């Protein structure tokens, strides 16, 4: 039996209905752990990438072992995007000036690519809204469903738990099923 003073949470079920559950109940914990938010489809992600001219990498690192460094390298070498690196603790990353925050960039980026922990995403969303960036793209392995909904409420397009490098390469014919460049020459026309 549940305590009548226990906090209740409104839970949205997969069928779209909502119900009130005790916050500490096993069912409430299970439902919180499940993903119900869905971001843009593959066609919509392609459209986002085609329209973008600039990308700011928030949480960029000068450490070659970090995934943000690898993604930054790819974007510099394999795309036409203007790439900005945002890290308050770095002066230069991949030969480019590093900016302390989004507000310091010379332009509002079309995409804010985020390499930060899930709890930091709402603050990045606020910063993106403040500078007028239309899209926040949260990297592979990073998930914060509440932040995604928050970003959409603020008018942003939110992509989450997807690598921008993988998506770009996939849409431009540079990926093998394992996620690597095959090195094969193809007559298949690439997308721009």
Cα separation values, 6 from 2, 20, 55, Å: 7, 12, 45
Q: What average pLDDT does range 8-25 have in this prediction?
A: 73
What domains does the chain contain, in order, with CATH numbers? 42-171 (3.40.50.720)
In the chain, DSSP finds a helix count (H) and a strand count (E) of 6, 9
Q: What average pLDDT does range 18-44 have in this prediction?
A: 78
* pLDDT tens digits, 33-83: 666 788 999 999 999 999 999 999 999 999 999 999 999 999 999 899 999
Output the DSSP codes for 32-84.
HHS-------HHHHHHHHHH--EEEEET--S-TTSHHHHHHHHHHHH---EEE
* pLDDT tens digits, 120-135: 999 999 999 999 999 9
Whether 184 has a pLDDT exceeding 70, the answer reads: no
Residue 191's pLDDT is 55
Residue 189's pLDDT is 55
Phi, psi of 93 (to 5 degrees): -135, 130
Q: Is the pTM of this model over 0.85?
A: no
Residue 190's pLDDT is 55
* pLDDT tens digits, 138-167: 999 898 999 999 999 999 999 999 999 999
Whether 99 has a pLDDT exceeding 80, the answer reads: yes
Would you say 88 and 100 are in contact if contact means Cβ atoms under 8 Å apart?
yes
Would you say 63 and 76 are in contact if contact means Cβ atoms under 8 Å apart?
no
Q: Is 173 left (phi over 0), alpha (psi -120 to 50) or beta?
A: left
């Amino acid at each position: 039996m549940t305590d009548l003073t226990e906090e209740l949470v409104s839970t949205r079920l997969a069928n779209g209905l909502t119900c009130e559950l005790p916050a500490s109940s096993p069912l409430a914990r299970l439902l919180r752990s499940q993903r119900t938010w869905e971001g843009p489809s593959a066609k919509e992600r392609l459209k986002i990438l085609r329209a973008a001219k600039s990308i700011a990498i928030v949480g960029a690192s000068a450490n070659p072992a970090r995934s943000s460094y690898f993604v930054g390298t790819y974007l510099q070498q394999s795309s036409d995007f203007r790439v900005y690196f945002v890290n308050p603790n770095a002066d230069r990353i991949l030969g480019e000036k590093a900016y302390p925050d989004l507000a310091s960039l010379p332009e509002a980026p079309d995409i804010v690519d985020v390499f930060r922990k899930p709890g930091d995403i709402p603050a990045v969303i606020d910063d993106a809204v403040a500078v007028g960036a239309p899209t926040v793209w949260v990297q592979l392995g990073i998930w914060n469903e509440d932040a995604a909904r928050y970003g959409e409420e603020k008018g942003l397009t939110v992509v989450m738990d997807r690598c921008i490098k993988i998506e770009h390469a996939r849409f431009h014919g540079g990926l093998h099923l394992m996620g690597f460049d095959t090195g094969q020459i193809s007559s298949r026309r690439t997308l721009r």
